[in-house]
């Protein structure tokens, strides 16, 4: 067996299951706000596109159909204000079966494990796929506490081969500014590493006048229309409430995409033609995305009114999580909340690592506002009651 498998830590939800093991919760109806799985209805037109598609008699190609790549290119160009001729469906875009597998496999394709000290830099707290991808690619993770880039030693930048960023961030909701993204691009040029930008939450934001900026957008603003060393990952799971579709794409530097396509040709991960048909329908419509954002805004407003008087929590500019501070240890808070109120949240320490003597997830919880409005309100009221209960 691959000895690097022994380096993998239990996934956050494995830890959560152990935390709740042998717990008998109250008789209240269960509400699960731990998993970032959208619960809004998948739009009918996406489901219908899949139902009417004809594609089971043919093998799909690894590169995906031209119609899908064109719809993705059109969306990218218009969403991120890219020059019309700067994105080629043939050279810059690759459909993938959900960004989780793409974020993982990307590291396997780009890391040179024969170098002396290959590093993969990543946010802390983070999406654990980044860590697992680094370890199984033969690299070492380097954790960036709370996305503070200016404190990273030069020697670390020198050994960096891949930088994962997540903006809007899971779990904090932090959105990286245009200037921050451009400074990271300059670092990548100086030290010759690749930036992999996980932008799966980019379409869920609070202010319609200020959608989150993207990495390719930052490149274009600098006049770097070859998008060198920059790759972005997008998904329909959050944007279109279609997590079961397992559909997304990777786009950016044409030479990196050429080699990633070669890797994926052997990886055996072509997107079904049926899923491609549904994906085209999704990428070509924005009205359902606007409705989706409005639903999350309603939940943020209602839940913040309930929780902000009793706990330290701020509404993030994007995403659908609350990253709240807890009055007691985060794992104790999550366990007792489950026992007393039958509400499940995720301890923040399960999403982060100790780095520089600090675990930035300690005494925090991630609350995923994915359930219907009524359930989110009910859960917030139970949480407030739990916090106010004498101990």
**Mean local confidence (pLDDT), 148-166:** 96
**Does 48 reside within a domain?**
no
In a shared domain, residues 246 and 122: yes
Domain region containing 237: 53-284
Q: How far apart are CA 146 and CA 379, in angstroms?
A: 27
Q: Which of 221, 249, 284 is the last residue of a domain?
A: 284
Answer with the one of 259, 284, 309 that is the final residue of a domain.
Answer: 284
Residue 377 lies in a domain: yes
Instruction: Please indicate, yes or no, whether residues 123 and 239 belong to a single structural domain of this protein.
Output: yes
Give pLDDT, residue 54: 82
**pLDDT over 80 at 391, yes or no:** no
293 & 265 share domain? no
Q: What is the pLDDT of residues 74-130, one digit of tens each?
A: 999 999 999 999 999 999 999 999 999 999 999 999 999 988 899 999 999 999 999
- Check whether residue 275 and residue 304 sit in a common domain: no
**Among the three residues 251, 284, 317, which one is the final residue of a domain in this structure?**
284
Are 273 and 311 in a shared domain? no
Between CA 153 and CA 142 the distance in angstroms is: 11
Element (H, E) at 233: strand 230-235
Instruction: Give the mean pLDDT of 223-242.
Output: 97
Tens digits of per-residue pLDDT, 275-311?
Answer: 999 999 999 999 999 999 999 999 999 999 999 999 9
pLDDT in tens, 19-52: 999 998 989 999 999 999 999 999 999 999 988 8
Clarify whether residues 91 and 219 are in a common domain.
Answer: yes
pLDDT digits (tens, 9 = 90+) for 58-88: 899 999 999 999 999 999 999 999 999 999 9
Asked whether residue 159 falls in the same domain as residue 278, the answer is: yes
Q: Which long-range contacts (CB under 8 A, 24 or more apart) does 38-41 make?
A: 38/237, 38/238, 38/241, 38/243, 38/320, 38/370, 39/241, 39/370, 39/371, 39/372, 40/241, 40/292, 40/295, 40/370, 41/241
Total count of domains within the chain: 2
The structure tokens listed for 351 are: 């999403």
Do residues 234 and 202 touch, judged by C-beta distance below 8 A?
yes
**Of 26, 140, 75, 141, nearest to 281 (Cα)?**
75
What CA–CA distance (Å, rounded) separates 331 from 350?
A: 9
Which burial class, exposed, middle or buried, applies to 226 when counting CB atoms under 10 A from its CB (0-12, 13-18, 19+)?
Answer: middle
Is the same domain home to 232 and 108?
Answer: yes
Q: What's residue 50's pLDDT?
A: 85
User: Which CATH number does the domain housing residue 375 bear?
Assistant: 3.90.1150.10
Q: What is the mean pLDDT of residues 176-203?
A: 98
């Amino acid at each position: 067996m691959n000895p690097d498998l022994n380096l993998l830590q239990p996934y956050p939800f494995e830890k959560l299951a152990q935390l709740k093991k042998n717990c008998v919760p109250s008789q209240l109806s269960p509400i699960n706000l731990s998993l970032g799985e959208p619960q809004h209805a998948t739009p009918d037109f996406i489901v219908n596109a899949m139902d009417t598609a004809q594609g089971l008699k043919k093998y799909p190609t690894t590169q995906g159909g031209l119609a899908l790549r064109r719809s993705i290119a059109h969306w990218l160009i218009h969403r991120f204000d890219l020059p019309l001729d700067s994105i080629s469906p043939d050279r810059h875009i690759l459909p993938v079966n959900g960004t989780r597998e793409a974020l993982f496999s990307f590291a396997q394709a780009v890391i040179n494990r024969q170098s002396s000290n290959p590093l993969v830099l990543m946010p802390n707290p983070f999406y654990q796929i980044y860590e697992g991808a680094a370890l199984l690619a033969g690299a070492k993770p380097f954790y960036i506490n709370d996305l503070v880039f200016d404190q990273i030693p030069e020697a670390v930048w020198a050994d960096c081969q891949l930088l994962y960023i997540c903006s809007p961030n899971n779990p904090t909701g932090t959105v990286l500014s245009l200037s921050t993204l451009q400074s990271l691009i300059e670092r990548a040029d100086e030290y010759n590493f690749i930036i992999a930008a996980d932008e799966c939450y980019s379409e869920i934001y609070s202010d319609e006048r200020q959608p989150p900026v993207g990495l390719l957008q930052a490149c274009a603003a600098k006049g770097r229309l070859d998008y060198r060393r920059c790759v972005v990952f997008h998904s329909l799971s959050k944007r279109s409430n279609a997590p079961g579709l397992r559909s997304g794409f990777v786009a950016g530097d044409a030479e990196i995409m050429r080699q990633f396509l070669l890797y994926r040709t052997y990886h055996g991960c072509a997107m079904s033609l049926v899923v491609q048909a549904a994906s085209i329908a999704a990428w070509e419509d924005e009205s359902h995305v606007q409705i989706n954002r409005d639903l999350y805004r309603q939940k943020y407003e209602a839940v913040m009114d309930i929780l902000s008087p009793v706990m330290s929590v701020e509404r993030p500019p994007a995403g659908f999580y609350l990253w709240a501070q807890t009055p007691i240890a985060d794992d104790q808070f999550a366990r007792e909340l489950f026992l007393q109120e039958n509400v499940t949240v995720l301890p923040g320490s399960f999403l982060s690592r100790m780095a520089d003597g600090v675990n930035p997830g300690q005494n925090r919880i991630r609350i995923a506002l994915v359930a219907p409005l009524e359930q989110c309100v009910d859960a917030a009221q139970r949480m407030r009651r739990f916090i106010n209960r004498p101990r």
